[in-house]
A and B are shown apart, each in its own frame.
Chain A
Amino acid sequence: EPEVTQTPSHQVTQMGQEVILRCVPISNHLYFYWYRQILGQKVEFLVSFYNNEISEKSEIFDDQFSVERPDGSNFTLKIRSTKLEDSAMYFCASKGSTFNTEAFFGQGTRLTVV
């Protein structure tokens, strides 16, 4: 069964460093998403990406964040100059088409900023 895969499963980084979280969406999907979940809090929408550009983003997704689909298979989330409060579980998701209502989620990357 096709699935969304995320790497690494756990990343530890020092405050102020840049991190790149990687995702391989399901191969024929067109819509891509990043969500995050701070420990004990809700899963929050960060950004959606379609046709090689951001289609929606939340207030959380400020200039510190960027997304890219560099090679047609990977979908990355870059966090510049990480802060302690960026520590969270980051989920990637993908969806087949605009008529599909179901998004498929990866297993998440736990980011710890120390």
Chain B
Amino acid sequence: AQSVTQLGSHVSVSEGALVLLRCNYSSSVPPYLFWYVQYPNQGLQLLLKYTTGATLVKGINGFEAEFKKSETSFHLTKPSAHMSDAAEYFCAVSETGNQFYFGTGTSLTVIP
């Protein structure tokens, strides 16, 4: 069975500080992994995805994530937080690229 656990429903960081949003998954086969971001009153926008190949993937807005099979993790990072990064972030897993299983989301607050 596929599932995603996002540790920390709310994360606060200072502007310029490292952003680390945690995601652990379970899957019976090598998964596709995704991070989506949702700004207020907007849809889910893809930040980055891992399908195959290089385990460190880079996405939009300076975010990156590393697929660690041994830890079943796909944590999202950004070296320096910006005020515009404040949003809800969702990790998702899919075995087929068809049905997605989402985590409960992490709300990121950036403190000036």
Range, interface on chain B: 20 to 34
CA distance A104 to B36 in the complex (A): 10
CB proximity of B25 to chain A, nearest CB, Å: 13
Residues A100 and B99 in contact in the complex (CB < 8 Å), given A105-B36, A107-B41, A108-B43: no
Interface of B is mostly: strand
Interface of chain A residues 79 through 105 with chain B (CB within 8 A): 91, 93, 95, 98-105
Interface centre among B36, B45, B99, by most chain A C-beta atoms within 10 angstroms, is B99
A105 touches B44 (CB 8 A): yes
B32 touches A101 (CB 8 A): yes
B41 touches A101 (CB 8 A): no
Q: Which residue of A lies closest to B32 (CB)?
A: A101
CA distance A103 to B43 in the complex (A): 12
When the two chains form the complex, which single residue of A31, A44, A45, A91 contacts B43, counting CB atoms closer than 8 Å? A91
A42 touches B49 (CB 8 A): no
The residues of A that contact B92 with a CB separation of less than 8 Å are 43
B98 touches A55 (CB 8 A): yes
Residues A42 and B103 in contact in the complex (CB < 8 Å), given A101-B51, A107-B42: yes
B97 located at the interface, meaning its Cβ lies under 8 Å from any Cβ of chain A in the complex:
yes
B94 located at the interface, meaning its Cβ lies under 8 Å from any Cβ of chain A in the complex:
yes
Q: Which residue of B lies closest to A46 (CB)?
A: B99
CB proximity of A89 to chain B, nearest CB, Å: 10
A43 touches B99 (CB 8 A): no
Q: Which residues of A pack against B, CB within 8 Å?
A: 3-4, 6, 9, 31, 33, 35, 40-45, 48, 55-56, 58, 91, 93, 95, 98-108
Q: List 19 A-B contacts (CB under 8 A).
A: A3-B43, A4-B43, A6-B43, A31-B98, A35-B100, A42-B102, A42-B104, A42-B105, A44-B102, A45-B100, A55-B98, A101-B32, A101-B94, A101-B97, A102-B34, A103-B100, A104-B46, A105-B36, A107-B43
